[in-house]
Structure 1
Amino acid sequence: MKPYPLRFKPEMKERVWGGRALEQFGLSLPDGPIGEGWMIGDHPNGTTKVINGELAGLGLDEVRERYGKSVFGAKGYAVNGRFPLLVKLLDCNDDLSVQVHPGNEYAGLPEGELGKTEMWYVLDAKPGAKIIYGLNPGVTRESMARAIADNRIMDCLQVVEVSAGDSFYIPAGTVHALCAGVLVAEIQQNSDTTYRLYDYGRLGLDGKPRELHIEDSLNVTAYEGSGATRMKTDVRAANDWLRIAASPYFIVEKGVTSGRWTLSAAPDSFTILVVCEGTGTLEWADGSLELERGACFLLPADLPEYALNGEATVLRSYLP
C-alpha cells in the first residue's frame, strides 16, 4: 500500500455540558448535547474508522494490526498496544466539572489505562470566556480537602480569561476546567480517566448527581506545581512552526500557511494535522485532500513528503 493521509469518522460523545457548535465544522451530530468529537482515537470507549482511500472502513486498531510501524512509526507502535494519542474537538456550552487527571505512575489507574497529560488550543471563545487553570499559591492537600468539605473549593482555584489562539499545556496533576463559551482542540494521551473534584451540584444526563472522586483527586493533584504552561500563539512568519506544547508524550506546533509549504514527515513517528482556520489543500505524491476548518489528518510515518497549499492555520503533532 502506498502511504497517504488518513481521515476518520469522528466518534461523537454526548455530555451534559455540550451543545451543537461542532456542527460548524460540517460534522454530523446525533441528537442531544454533544460535547466531544473524538477525531482520531483508539480507545475502549471509542475507536475511529478511516473514511478515505484504500483503508476506508478499517478502525484505527485494525490499521495498527495490519500496518504497524509503517503507519505509526517505531515510537508510535510501541506504546501500550494502542495508538498513543487521542485527538478531540470540544464544545463547552456549559462549564465542565473541576477535575484532575492522574499520571502513568498512579496506582489507582484502571487496568490497561494510561495517565492523562493534555493540551488545549482555543479555536473560539465568547467574550469574557474563562477556564480554571491550576491552584492558587499556597494551596495544600489539607487546605483543599477542608475547602471541599466546606463547599468552597472555588476559593482554591485560579480563573483565567481566554481568547481564540490561546494554548494551554496541562500535565497530569493540574486541576483544571473548561468553562462555558469555549471551543477547543485537544491533543492528549490516549486515556479517558478523569477525577472530578466539583460539579456545581449538577445532574448528569441520567438525571442523577454525577460521581465525584475526591480521594483520587487529592492523591494525584500536583500541589507544588505540575509544570503547566500557557501562551499566546501569534505566528510572526508564514510557513514556519511555533512550538506551543512539549511533553514526554507529544509535541504540538502551530503554523500559518501562505502559498505552498513543502514538509517532511518524521520517519519514526506519525504526524497529526488539525486545521484551525482557513482553506487549502494537503498534497502528496499520489493525491490531495481539501483543508477545511476542523479537519484532522493522520499522516503515516512512511509518507516521505507532503505539502500544505493555501491560507490556513494548522496544528502539527508528533511523538518526541
Structure 2
Amino acid sequence: MTNTMIKPYPLLFQPEMKERIWGGRALAQFGLELPEGSIGEGWMIGDHPNGTTTVLNGPLAGTGLDAIREHYGKEWFGTKGFSERNGRFPLLIKLLDCNDDLSVQVHPTDTYDGLPEGELGKTEMWYILDAKPGATIVYGLKEGVDRAAMEAAIAEGRIMDTLQVVPVEAGDAFYIPAGTVHALCSGVVVAEIQQNSDTTYRLYDYDRPGLDGKLRELHVEASLNVIAYEGAGAQRMKTDGIRPGEWLTIASSPYFIVEKGIVIEPLALKTTPESFVILVVADGQGTISWNEGVERLALRSGQCLLLPASLGGYTVDGSMTVLRSMVP
C-alpha cells in the first residue's frame, strides 16, 4: 500500500464464505457469489486469522482490512475502534444461512483463562433477516438450571430439556452476551454483529457427522465453565414499531451498539472521531453519498459497509432497512 493520503470513503468488502454442515444456498438471495457446497457463513467484514476480508471498491480495492488497520490506524477506525487486547478491528460482521440446526453452544468472556492466545471472548447479537413459518432458536436456560442440573442432563442425554426454545420472525433482535447458551435453528437467515472472535464451545450437536463424516468435537467441560447460569443479561425484542427516520437501539453492550433505522427519504448522518460505523442493509435498496454529495454508492440488501470514523457527513437515501453499529 502506498503512503499517499487516501480520503476516507465507505468500504465494501469481498466476503469470506464458510462451508458449514448446517449451511445452504440462501445467501445467494443477496447477490453474493457462493462457492460450491453448504455455505453457512459469509464473513462480510473481518480482520481475523480465520478470515480477513479485502476491499472491493475505490482506491483501496484489493487491500485487506488488516493492512488498512496497520496503515490508517485510529484515524479511520476511531479512538475506540480497536481491541485493547489484540489491536485488531474489534468486530466481526456475518450473514448466516441456517438451513439446518446449529450446535447448542456457548461463548467465553474476555476474562476466561482457557481462551486461545490473542483471541477475544464472544458477545454477539442477531437480527433475523428472514424466518420460515414456525422457525425457532435456542435462547438461554430454563429457570433454575444450574451446573449440576446441566451436567446430569448431559449425562442422561436430555440436554434439550434444560434449554429455552423460542419462536422467531423476521425483524426480531437478540442480544447474546458471552455465557449465554444458544443455537440458531433451521429456517432462519441472520445478520450477526459480534466481537472479533472465532471461539465457540459446543455442548450438543445432535449426534450428527460433520463435513468429514466424523462426529464434531464437543467442549462440554469448557462450556460448563463459561455458562452464566444466573443469566448474563440476554435480551430480545421485536423491532417492527419503528418509524422512518428514527433509530431504535436493538443491542447495547460494552463492545458494540446496534441501531435499526428505516430510510424512505434522504437522511443526513455523520461519523464521530471515536468510532467507525458499520451499516448493514437488512432489506431494500438505496444509496449512500458523502464528500458533500459529490460521491455516491448504490446499496442493496445484504451489503455491509465500513464507514471510517474520519468520513464525517454522509447521507443515506432510498427505501431501506438499515442496521447501524459502532463502538461505544
User: TM-score interval w.r.t. the shorter chain?
Assistant: over 0.9
Q: Which residue of 2 aligns with 1:17?
A: 22
Q: Which residue of 1 aligns with 2:320?
A: 312
Q: Which residue of 2 aligns with 1:184?
A: 190
Deviation of 1:236 (Å): 3.0
Deviation of 1:39 (Å): 0.1
Structure 2 counterparts to residues 54-65 of structure 1, below 5 A: 54-65=59-70
Q: Deviations over 1:212-249 (max 9, x none)?
A: 00000000000001100000002432111000000000
Letter in 2 for 1:88: K
**The residue matched to 1:66 in structure 2 has which SS?**
helix
Letter in 2 for 1:293: S
Deviation of 1:77 (Å): 3.3
Letter in 2 for 1:295: Q
**The residue matched to 1:88 in structure 2 has which SS?**
strand
Deviation of 1:169 (Å): 0.0
**The residue matched to 1:107 in structure 2 has which SS?**
coil
Letter in 1 for 2:29: Q
Can you give the 5+ residue segments of structure 1 that lack an aligned partner in the other structure?
none
Distance 2:304 2:53 in 1: 12
**Pick aligned residue for 1:116 from 116, 122, 127:** 122
1:279, 1:310 within 8 Å by CA — same for their partners in 2? yes
Q: Which residue of 2 aligns with 1:73?
A: 78
Deviation of 1:18 (Å): 0.1
Distance 2:141 2:323 in 1: 28
User: CA separation of 1:276/1:107 partners in 2, compared to 1, >3 Å: closer, same or farther?
Assistant: same
2:281, 2:322 within 8 Å by CA — same for their partners in 1? yes
Distance 2:300 2:83 in 1: 32
**The residue matched to 1:148 in structure 2 has which SS?**
helix
Structure 2 counterparts to residues 38-53 of structure 1, below 5 A: 38-53=43-58
Q: Deviations over 1:53-90 (max 9, x none)?
A: 01111100000111111111111135321110000000
2:103, 2:202 within 8 Å by CA — same for their partners in 1? yes
Q: Deviations over 1:186-226 (max 9, x none)?
A: 00000000000000001000000000000000000000011
Q: Which residue of 1 aligns with 2:3?
A: none
Structure 2 counterparts to residues 170-319 of structure 1, below 5 A: 170-285=176-291, 286-319=294-327
Q: Does 1:6 align with 2:14?
A: no
**The residue matched to 1:63 in structure 2 has which SS?**
helix
Q: Which residue of 2 aligns with 1:153?
A: 159
Runs of 4+, deviation exceeding 3 Å: none
**Pick aligned residue for 2:38 from 33, 41, 48:** 33
Distance 1:157 1:237 in 2: 35
Distance 1:319 1:88 in 2: 17
Distance 1:279 1:58 in 2: 26
- What TM-score results when the alignment is normalised by the length of structure 1? 0.99
**The residue matched to 2:189 in structure 1 has which SS?**
strand
Letter in 1 for 2:276: F
1:119, 1:245 within 8 Å by CA — same for their partners in 2? yes
Deviation of 1:268 (Å): 1.0
2:290, 2:296 within 8 Å by CA — same for their partners in 1? yes
1:235, 1:256 within 8 Å by CA — same for their partners in 2? no
**The residue matched to 1:137 in structure 2 has which SS?**
coil
**The residue matched to 1:311 in structure 2 has which SS?**
strand
Aligned residues: 320
Mean CA deviation greater in 148-157 or 73-82 = 73-82
- What TM-score results when the alignment is normalised by the length of structure 2? 0.97
Letter in 1 for 2:78: G
Distance 1:268 1:137 in 2: 40
Distance 2:241 2:318 in 1: 16
Q: Does 1:139 align with 2:133?
A: no
Distance 2:174 2:271 in 1: 25
CA RMSD across the alignment: 0.7
Deviation of 1:266 (Å): 2.1
1:88, 1:186 within 8 Å by CA — same for their partners in 2? yes
Structure 1 vs Structure 2: percent identity of aligned residues?
Answer: 70
